[in-house]
Amino acid sequence: MTRDANTPATAFDKRMLEALVCPLTQARLSYDAEAQELVSDKAGLAFPIRDGIPIMLIDEARKLNG
């Protein structure tokens, strides 16, 4: 796989979305590229992505407003 000059070596691989689910609800996640988070609308949580690795710990997740 090749990457362009604007993609960091540690970019999140969007193909991982097919395998990852929310650890709390088992619901599908969406990818927020700007915030570098995986979002579980059902749980109201956003899980951070650090150095291309999703941190799927509830204690590390940010609560969504609304």
The full set of domain ranges for the chain reads: 14-63
User: What's 14-63's CATH class?
Assistant: mainly beta
5, pLDDT greater than 90 = no
Cα–Cα nearest to 61, from 50, 17, 33, 51? 50
For a pLDDT cut of 70, what percent of the chain falls above it? 85
Q: Which of 6-15, 28-37, 55-64 is predicted least confidently? A: 6-15
Specify the pTM.
Answer: 0.81
**CA-closest candidate to residue 54, choices 2, 24, 7, 11:** 11
pLDDT in tens, 21-55: 999 999 999 999 999 999 999 999 999 999 999 99
The gap from C-alpha 46 to its chain's centroid, in whole angstroms, comes to: 7
The backbone torsions φ and ψ at residue 60, rounded to the nearest 5 degrees and listed phi first, read: -95, -10
